[in-house]
Structure 1
Amino acid sequence: MKKVLLMMVALFFTVAAFAQIEAPVKWSYAAKKTSATEAVVFVKATIEPGWHVYSQNIKEGGPIATTFTFTPGKDYTLVGKPAEPKAITKYEDNFKMNVSYFENSVIFQQKVKLKAKGETTVKGKVEYMTCNDRKCLPPDEVEFSVNVK
C-alpha cells in the first residue's frame, strides 16, 4: 500500500512539473504628461522569442485582436483610440489569411485629456492573443493601472 501511495505522489509531482503555465508576454505600463492638460499612457508588451502578439487591426475570421478597454474616470477622458507602430503583416496558414502582429516588443499609446490638477490614475484592461509557429494560447486579459503625475 505504501509503495502505491508513494508512486502516486511521485506521479503527481512529475505531472505538476510539466504542467507549468506558459506566459510568453509580460506587460508594463507608464505615463508621461505632455502638457498641463494632456498625457500619454504607454502599454508595453515584451514578447519572448518565437512568439507574437496580434495587432488591434485584425479582420474577422482571424485571431483575437489586441483590444483595450479603459475604465471611465472623472479625472480624464480618452483622446482618440490607442495608437500602435507599424505591424508585421504575413499570411498565416492557421487562419488562412494575412494577419498583422508584433514580435519582441510593442508599445501601444493612448492619449488622455486631464480634467483635474494633481495626480490622476488611468485604469483599464488589455485583451490579447499570442501564438508561435506551433500553437496559439487562449486569449488572455490583463488589468492595468497607471499614475499620471
Structure 2
Amino acid sequence: MKTLYILLISLFTGFTVSSQVLKPVKWSYTAKRTGETTATLFMKAEIQPGWHVYAQSLANGGPVKASFSFTPDASYTLDGEVAEPASLSKFEKAFNANVAYFENTVVFQQKIQLKAKRALVRGTVQFMVCSDRQCLPPQTLAFAVPVK
C-alpha cells in the first residue's frame, strides 16, 4: 500500500513539473527549389502571444539574437546570408537598449546553390525568447532540411 502511494505521488509530481515547462516558440523547416541548381530554405518560428524572438541584427551586450549555423556539406553551398523580414523595435529596460524583435510568426530564409540532385541541410538555430515579464535562457536547436 505504501508503495502505491509513493508511485501515485511520483506520477502526480512528474505531471505537475512537466506542465510548467515553457516552450513559447515552435520551429519548422522546409525547402523549395527555385531552379535546377538553386533552392531556398525557410526557417519558421511560430511565437505564442505575449512572447517575442530577437532579430539577427542586434548589437552585442543585449539579448541573444537569432543566429543560424549550417554544417558544411559537399551537396550544397550557402548563397549569401540568412534573410529576415522587417522587424519591430522597442526600448527594453532590462537590456537598456533598443532591440529589434519579432512577434507571432517570423520566417527566415537562406538561399543555397546545389551541387547534387538532393541535399540534406543540417544546422542549428540559437535564439532567445522574452515576454514583458520574463526571458527564458537562450536555446540552441538542431535541424535538418531535405532538399529534393
TM-score (norm 1): 0.90
Matches within 5 A, 1:1-149: 10=9, 13-14=12-13, 17-18=16-17, 20=19, 21-116=21-116, 118-149=117-148
SS at match of 1:90: strand
SS at match of 2:137: coil
Deviation at 1:19, TM superposition (A): 5.4
Give the number of equivalent residue pairs. Answer: 147
Structure 1: 5+ residue stretches without partners? none
Counterpart code for 2:125: V
Counterpart code for 2:104: N
Q: How far apart are the structure 2 equivalents of 1:75 and 1:68? A: 19
Q: How far apart are the structure 1 equivalents of 2:60 and 2:128? A: 14
Aligned-pair identity in percent equals: 50
Structure 2: 5+ residue stretches without partners? none
Q: How far apart are the structure 1 equivalents of 2:136 and 2:32? A: 32
Q: Please, what is the CA RMSD of the aligned residues?
A: 2.1
Q: Which runs of 4+ in 1 moved over 2 A?
A: 9-16
Q: How far apart are the structure 2 equivalents of 1:123 and 1:18? A: 32
Q: Structure 1, residues 58-93: CA drift from partner, whole Å, max 9, x if none?
A: 111110010100000100000111000000011011
SS at match of 1:107: strand
